[in-house]
Amino acid sequence: MPFAIITDSSANLPEATIEHYGLHVFGLVFNIDGEVHRSYIKGSITDLKQFYTMLREGKVITTSLPSLTEVEAIVRGVLESGQDAIYIGFDSALSGTYENTSRFLYSLRDADFPDRKLYCVDSLGAALGQGLLVIEACRKREAGDSVDQVAAWAEANRQRFAHWFTVDDLSYLQRGGRLSKGVAIAATLLNIKPVLHVDEEGRL
């Protein structure tokens, strides 16, 4: 590979796609009743059925950012191999993942790999919207574009991916702080199913 493309597990990419494009993926972490789980493990088929079952059962689930130990291991391996890299991360308006990870990556590059090129791109998206941006970046790399060209393209085109969705149960939006409890209760009683989207600043 002329350069590496890195993302995080919020891109929801299947293992076959990850393998096909030689992607590196940081796994976000979730905690259920004090037990820590990773949302992505290299080489494993990600099955989150248990996670969603427990969520529907009302268990309290908290999420956290990727382990910086894992982040460092992956990126150090890439840069030590002589490759440059692009990290395309989870929407900074919805999570601290991008800000925390990009800050760490730039400090790692500056301290230990000043001659390597490393770009961090805030996808301003999530799920397969983020995933599609990553896939298109991989296709640009396959077409022969340089690391500078692909990074510039991702920055320039990230807002061309539209995120529209709806939900069956507003309690999750309320738990995550996206809706007030009163609004969630009223909307549920009225059987309202809101259509949501991510705006140009990455906000839900």
Helices of type H across the chain: 15-21, 49-56, 68-80, 97-112, 127-142, 147-157, 171-175, 181-189
State pLDDT tens for residues 75-115.
999 999 999 999 999 999 888 899 999 999 999 999 999 99
Phi-psi region of 159 (alpha: psi -120 to 50; beta: other; left: phi over 0): alpha
pLDDT value at 179 more than 80? no
One-character DSSP codes across 58-80: T--EEEEPPPHHHHHHHHHHHHH
Residue 48: pLDDT band by 50, 70, 90 thresholds? low
Res 94: pLDDT:
87
The reported pTM is 0.86
pLDDT value at 57 more than 90? no
> What is the DSSP pairing of strand 164-166 with strand 29-32?
unpaired
State pLDDT tens for residues 126-176.
888 999 999 999 999 999 999 999 999 999 999 988 888 888 778 777 776
Spatial CA neighbour of 6 closest among 128, 107, 138, 201: 138
